[in-house]
Structure 1
Amino acid sequence: MSKTYNWAILGCGKIARKFATDLKLCPNARLYAAASRSLESAQSFASELGFEKAYGSYEEMVNDPEVDVVYIATPHSHHLEHALLCLNHQKAVLCEKAFAINSKEVGLMIEAARRNKTFLMEAFWTRFQPSFLKVLEIIHSGELGALKMVHSDFAFNAEYNPEKRLYNVDLGGGSLLDIGIYPIFMSLMALGKPSEIKTMARFCPTGAEESIMMSFSYPGGEIASLVSSFASYSSTQTEFSFENGFVRLNRRFYTPTSLTYWKNWEEEKVITFEKGAGFGYELEAAHVMECLDAGKTESDWMPLNFSSDLMEIMDWVRKDAGIVFPKHD
């Protein structure tokens, strides 16, 4: 029987609020502590969502011996600092994506996790959605033949505000780390690491990349066409093209969604997946606790070498596109 784990939230923003709301759906999760740079912010978050404690500094939180696992929800630019703080205090960590700013930072996080024999996982919630698991099942079954192409897009029209995180290069701003990571994730899960990458990017006045098109090619001749943008809306779908058909994760492919399946001139089938009570974050939280129950320091479903490969590809994309984060590069 699973033990009850005391969860702490590090960073009390929008994504943390969604995650904490879903955490309530896990019977073995105790909403224990909320931590922010501001005690007032932490207290407000804790009061709203039902956490028992509030801390006005992250250092206070990690020094609480009752904290078992920490969800890090700060900007990408601070993930290294906050992950190291938690790991060096032997607190299990679920760190929001992108894992960090670059491969060097990811390497330091992984090194700290292994040195401290402490659990670390990138919070890639899509990996645990039933719709995505069905796609992986179809790919591995070979029922549609060999997978030849992946097309994935993620775009929305974000108000341009140079002060906000999305457009602030000091905070890892730009569409790539924020939403471009999803199409790249899809291609990496389906096709592995590419052998060649070509990009085309559009930049805004702050120096942040606003839109990017990415073309990946693979040793076996497969290709991937990937797009992310803050300039316009897109269908936000991912299509997997096989020798004998296709599978499409429909709109909002990164969440619990529907799937369109077509094979050999047969009629298209739409497979729907029942939406749970939450947003979908409870699935990754439950997985983390299953790993902790088993005494694991990393996930078999979202292993650290996968997160390392994912960031390595994004570094390659950034180099080709000329995307620079001055405080980190």
Structure 2
Amino acid sequence: MAPKVVRWGMMATGGIVQTFTKDLLVDPKTRGVEDVCHVVTAVASSSSKDSADRFVANFVEGKQGDTKCSAYASYKELVQDSNVDIIYVGTPHSHHYQNCRLALEHNKPILCEKALTVNAEQAKTLIDEARKRNLFFMEAVWTRYFPLSIEVRQAIQDGKIGEVIRVSADLSIGEIPEDKFDEGHRMVNLDLAGGVLLDLGIYALTWLFQTIYHTLPKEKRRAPTVLGTAMTSEPRTGADEATTILLNFPVSTPSGRSSTHGVASAALRAHFDFERDSDQATPAVRIFGDQGEIQVFGPIYRPSRYRITYRDKQKQTEDKTFEFPGGIHGMSWEGDEAARCWLVGKLESETMSWDESLVIMKTMDNVRKQGNLKYPDDIESTEYPIDLKKRDPSKHVQTENRD
């Protein structure tokens, strides 16, 4: 049976959209996928048609046979294109709410980059809108769909390390902000909801949630309590340049006989592992069970190695390394998932459900409240439409692409 073709529209032309597009257009058979394939039929830039034209020329033309791709100078034109099945929103998270509302109100399914929004109220409004319109809507947390992540979750559910007592996860990138980012850069600019929490910290939280919360049956999942937050402000802009979060998950995994502590951290100036490319590398995620430990080596947004050690020394340590087939960066798997869900009429992905996206956004709201971190009112608002053109997203350089 021939694979079903899904036609994508790209909202934005920055680094993350370029990477996603390149991954989608790699032959799915190279990663063992034969039921779906992807084409890009439209691209839109908010700044100029020239930008969209360049994107099409550089990343689409000649890579999908005879399928044509339209270039647009506005997102409104994109969402009105009848040749688009699903839209990938790759704008800064400060703009996700407005951009997703636009797509939903034109009855377009969406795969939206993380963080889904800047607060839980915005996320809930979008979810309610998608539900009302019977539209697929998913937060693009690509790491969850890696074969490595799936294996780690399965190992926990199988009880390989016993009851999970504590999980720690860190994504710190070792950059001096004054040297690396000007004050308008999205990593430090509050006008673009800048700072480490929504950009880096969400990956640390992803590992906590996918190994503690998500590994439980749905009926046993309980939102964590934010026991403490420590934040350091970037001296020029006030955005958080370092954030550490202590969570208590009231129901432990896999049996629910305890609670589980979670420690999530992210920082600009520190680094998760300066020896990451040597045999002295240390894990950036540690999942502590009462019978063993799972260690995941960073960077945690794109890990390729994990190790399981056991309390019982007669059990041999397991150490596994993964390749990225077909030369993909790793975003193809979330694209495959979104396509499959949309094709069969699902509104959400079980691996990144609406419930979990909302619980994580509520957790980050509580973290910001404890750290007294606020974004501009129009960025936090659920009013629609709001013209955010004064918030310049043109410096949208995605952290995942720094390697």
Percent identity over the alignment is 30
Q: Quick one: which of 267, 271, 284 aligns to 1:233?
A: 271
Q: Which position in structure 2 is the counterpart of 1:48?
A: 58
Take 2:319 and 2:292, find their aligned partners in 1: how far apart are those partners? 14
Displacement of 1:3 in angstroms is: 2.5
Take 2:162 and 2:237, find their aligned partners in 1: how far apart are those partners? 45
Q: Which position in structure 1 is the counterpart of 2:197?
A: 176
3-state SS of paired residue (1:28): strand
Contact 1:131–1:249, Cα closer than 8 Å, also in 2: no
* Residue ranges of structure 2 left out of the alignment (5+ in a row): 29-35, 62-68, 214-222, 251-257, 274-282, 381-403
* Residue ranges of structure 1 left out of the alignment (5+ in a row): none
1:280-295 matches, cutoff 5 A: 280-295=330-345
3-state SS of paired residue (2:337): helix
Take 2:165 and 2:60, find their aligned partners in 1: how far apart are those partners? 48
Query: C-alpha deviations, 1:22-73, integer Å up to 9, x for none?
Result: 0102462111111001111111111101151110000111111111111000
3-state SS of paired residue (1:118): coil
Q: Which position in structure 1 is the counterpart of 2:229?
A: 199
Q: Which position in structure 1 is the counterpart of 2:165?
A: 148
1:52-63 matches, cutoff 5 A: 52-63=69-80
The yes-or-no answer on 1:252 pairing with 2:312 is no
* 314-323 or 151-160, which deviates more: 151-160
TM-score, normalisation: structure 2: 0.79
* 303-312 or 24-33, which deviates more: 24-33
Take 2:109 and 2:200, find their aligned partners in 1: how far apart are those partners? 25
State the AA in 2 paired with 1:43: D
* 211-220 or 34-43, which deviates more: 211-220
Give the 3 Å change call, closer, same or farther, for CA 71–261 of structure 1 in structure 2: same
Displacement of 1:267 in angstroms is: 4.4
Contact 1:197–1:316, Cα closer than 8 Å, also in 2: no
Take 1:152 and 1:33, find their aligned partners in 2: how far apart are those partners? 37
Take 2:58 and 2:131, find their aligned partners in 1: how far apart are those partners? 35
Q: Which position in structure 2 is the counterpart of 1:39?
A: 49
Q: Which position in structure 1 is the counterpart of 2:385?
A: none
Take 1:160 and 1:232, find their aligned partners in 2: how far apart are those partners? 15
Displacement of 1:175 in angstroms is: 0.2
Q: Which position in structure 2 is the counterpart of 1:279?
A: 329
Contact 1:247–1:260, Cα closer than 8 Å, also in 2: yes
Contact 2:239–2:373, Cα closer than 8 Å, also in 1: yes
Q: Which position in structure 2 is the counterpart of 1:3?
A: 4
Give the 3 Å change call, closer, same or farther, for CA 325–255 of structure 1 in structure 2: same
Take 1:136 and 1:191, find their aligned partners in 2: how far apart are those partners? 9
Contact 1:7–1:71, Cα closer than 8 Å, also in 2: yes
Q: What's the RMSD between the two structures over aligned residues? A: 1.5
Q: Quick one: which of 91, 103, 106 aligns to 1:74?
A: 91
The yes-or-no answer on 1:317 pairing with 2:367 is yes
Contact 1:256–1:280, Cα closer than 8 Å, also in 2: no
Take 1:61 and 1:196, find their aligned partners in 2: how far apart are those partners? 40
The yes-or-no answer on 1:210 pairing with 2:248 is no
Contact 2:7–2:85, Cα closer than 8 Å, also in 1: yes
> In the comparison of the two structures, how many residue pairs are matched?
329
Contact 1:196–1:218, Cα closer than 8 Å, also in 2: no
